[in-house]
Amino acid sequence: MFWKKTARVVLHKMGGLAALRSRHRREFRVLMFHSFSECERSNMEAICAHIARHFEPVSLSAIVDALDGRKTLPDNAITVTVDDGYRNFLLHGHPILRRNRIPATIYAVAGFSDGQLWLWTDQIEFGLRHTTRSSVRAVLGEGETLELSLRTPEEKAESTVRLTEKLKEVPNERRVSFLAEFGSLCGLEIPPFPPSGCEAMSWDELRAVAAEGTEVGCHTETHPILSRVANPAELETEIRGAKQHMEERLGFDVRHFCYPNGRPMDVGDAAIRCVRDAGFASAVSCTYGLNTLKADRFQIQRVPFSGDLDLHYGEELLAGLHM
């Protein structure tokens, strides 16, 4: 603990962060957010003020132009990306980013924005949080089951993580069939539309933020784990089809893509080829790290971030630590 405190003093009071920023000045940072809340606003303000003071915010399109050799990037270039397309970005993220002149790209799930579905990860959380059952036995196929204890809020939260992570590993058709029966497993009805706090931005809202400078990217049609999608036609629907769906609704080109869950094991070569062939200009992953101008524009690394992140830790992440 003493050494940690000493290291923090060196970093934050004696110029250590400035030295790290200088060391990594030629690398660009792509921050990864998911959702925002009212209670995080003051911390988010502080994070954005720090970014505006010490970094050079640029758009994702400017980064892609630099990767293709058409432009140069300033030292300590940075941009913000936001996955999933939750409406809370409009309420609690977009105003702060815009006020600090920090460009952002929001990745919408086409079916979510269209009102056809709500995100399956939120459905899992909803079902396990609201069930009155003290335990459930989740059958995932091929003899694999999970015994989930649900007696306390803490057990429900832990079981939500366990089940969500396991469902990311099964074939996509098995995940879809499991979700169709999930309400019965929990002894309740999963609502057809997302509850408060889980809503998507509408097409009109996406168009409005785009008009103010936010780039709108694609996060598939239904948010599957792409490496678990075995059917090539289904993969095309999730990627090329989602791009076309969004462009028809929005009325402008959708140039950037985000892989759901985004780890190498969750993406796969077939999905990367499909994204490239669909005509996207870039794709971001969930591999953590900074990027050089030699980066593959279809496997851009990101820095995980959130509005409730400890400010000191966030400043260290931005400087290039903890990667």
Average pLDDT of the chain is: 95
Q: What percentage of residues in the chain have a pLDDT greater than 90?
A: 91
- Which residues does residue 148 pair with via DSSP β-bridges, in sequence order? 136
> What pLDDT score does 207 carry?
98
> What pLDDT score does 15 carry?
77
pLDDT in tens, the chain (323 residues): 655 666 665 677 767 899 999 999 999 999 999 999 999 999 999 999 999 999 999 999 999 999 999 999 999 999 999 999 999 999 999 999 999 999 999 999 999 999 999 999 999 999 999 999 999 999 998 778 999 999 999 999 999 999 999 999 999 999 999 999 999 999 999 999 999 999 999 999 999 999 999 999 999 999 999 999 999 999 999 999 999 999 999 999 999 999 999 999 999 999 999 999 999 999 999 999 999 999 999 999 999 999 999 999 999 999 998 87
Q: Region of 57 please: left (phi>0), alpha (psi -120 to 50) or beta.
A: beta
Spelled out in words, what is the top-level CATH class assigned to the domain 24-116+200-319? alpha beta
Domain definitions of the chain by residue range: 24-116+200-319, 120-186
pTM of the model: 0.94
Long-range CB contacts for residues 17-25, cutoff 8 Å, separation at least 24? 17/315, 17/316, 17/319, 20/319, 20/320, 20/321, 21/54, 21/55, 21/76, 21/318, 21/319, 21/320, 23/320, 24/76, 24/290, 24/319, 24/320, 25/75, 25/76
> What pLDDT score does 142 carry?
77
Q: What is the pLDDT of residues 16-54, one digit of tens each?
A: 899 999 999 999 999 999 999 999 999 999 999 999 999
